[in-house]
Structures are given as structure tokens and as C-alpha cells.
């Protein structure tokens, strides 16, 4: 049986990802296109979060987290732990 990880932590990561995207003002389609990510998955993930679903049927890609940090200047510490400032450097988009 495959290990699923910690669903609560996964949901917190997802919330921070979408909070950062909203703060930056980058639409999902732009974020996904610039990061080489599957847009429909991230649309569905955001919709599930907005509905309050907690079964965590979507998993974040490591590439999405890296893209947010590298391209948009989001702090990896904040993204992974929720501690510290949201931005490590000024966004480059």
C-alpha cells in the first residue's frame, strides 16, 4: 500500500500556494503555462480547497513549489512551514 503522507500538511501547502498566487496576482493559467504544469489539475485543486474538501485528492508537484519560489520570489521557508515572510526576494514576473 502506498504511503499518502500527511493530508493536513498537504492542504496547508496548497492553501499557501494559492494564497501566494493571489497575493502576486498571477492567474492559474499563467502560473501553469510558465511553470510547465497541468492547468486543469491546479484549477481542480483550487476548487476543492474553496469548497472545503479535506480528502486531499490532489498532490502538489515539487516543480510547482520550486517555480513559485524561484520565478516569483516566494520564500521556501514560508511556503513549506508558514513561518517567516512570504517573499524571499522581489518577484521577477
For residues 37 and 67, the answer to whether their CB atoms sit within 8 Å is: yes
74 three-class SS: strand
How many structural domains is the chain composed of?
1
Q: 2 lies in a domain? A: no
Q: 91 lies in a domain? A: no
Q: 89 lies in a domain? A: no
Task: Kindly indicate the confidence band of residue 25, based on its pLDDT and cuts at 50, 70 and 90.
Answer: very high
Nearest to 4 by CA among 55, 66, 76: 55
Q: 43 lies in a domain? A: yes
Task: Kindly indicate the confidence band of residue 2, based on its pLDDT and cuts at 50, 70 and 90.
Answer: very low
Q: 55 lies in a domain? A: yes
Give residue 3's pLDDT. 46
**Residue 19's domain spans which residues?**
7-81
Query: Which CATH number does the domain housing residue 32 bear?
Result: 1.10.260.40
Amino acid at each position: 500500500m502506498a504511503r499518502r503522507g500527511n493530508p493536513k500538511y498537504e492542504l496547508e501547502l496548497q492553501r499557501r500556494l494559492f494564497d501566494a498566487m493571489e497575493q502576486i496576482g498571477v492567474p492559474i493559467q499563467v502560473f501553469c503555462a510558465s511553470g510547465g504544469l497541468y492547468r486543469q489539475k491546479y484549477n481542480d485543486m483550487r476548487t476543492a480547497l474553496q469548497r472545503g474538501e479535506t480528502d486531499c485528492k490532489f498532490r502538489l508537484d515539487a516543480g510547482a513549489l520550486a517555480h513559485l519560489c524561484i520565478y516569483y520570489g516566494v520564500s521556501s521557508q514560508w511556503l513549506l512551514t508558514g513561518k517567516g515572510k512570504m517573499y524571499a526576494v522581489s518577484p521577477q514576473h
